[in-house]
């Protein structure tokens, strides 16, 4: 499963910039909807496209791996390709 680390990245930016901002601020700056950002932040296993990831990376000045992480399958099974 891919997990978004949006909350962690937001906290790092808040600390680095010394100011607070909200999902509404991110939405306004990136053109992403508040609903999408809320789902990324709160819904486990939410999937989104590369354009969204790109916009978030641009806003936060981070790399993809700062925003996402891969977690092994919760059942302990790995997925194999043919």
Interacting residues of 24 by C-beta distance below 8 A, sequence separation 6+: 34
pLDDT in tens, 19-50: 888 999 999 999 999 999 999 999 988 889 99
- What is the predicted pLDDT for the residue at 75? 65
Given a contact cutoff of 8 angstroms between Cβ atoms, the answer to whether 6 and 40 are in contact is: yes
Integer Cα distance of 64 and 50 in angstroms: 10
- What is the predicted pLDDT for the residue at 72? 86
- What is the predicted pLDDT for the residue at 1? 86
- Architecture (CATH level 2) of domain 2-70: Orthogonal Bundle (1.10)
Whole-angstrom CA distances from 58 to 29, 43, 55, 64, 72 are 10, 22, 5, 10, 27
- What is the predicted pLDDT for the residue at 76? 56
- What is the predicted pLDDT for the residue at 45? 82
């Amino acid at each position: 499963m891919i997990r978004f680390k949006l909350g962690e990245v937001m906290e790092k930016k808040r600390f680095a910039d010394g100011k607070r901002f909200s999902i509404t601020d991110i939405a306004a700056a990136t053109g992403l909807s508040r609903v999408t950002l809320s789902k990324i932040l709160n819904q486990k296993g939410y999937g989104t496209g590369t354009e969204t990831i790109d916009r978030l990376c641009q806003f936060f000045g981070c790399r993809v791996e700062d925003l996402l992480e891969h977690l092994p399958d919760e059942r302990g099974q790995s997925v194999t390709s043919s």
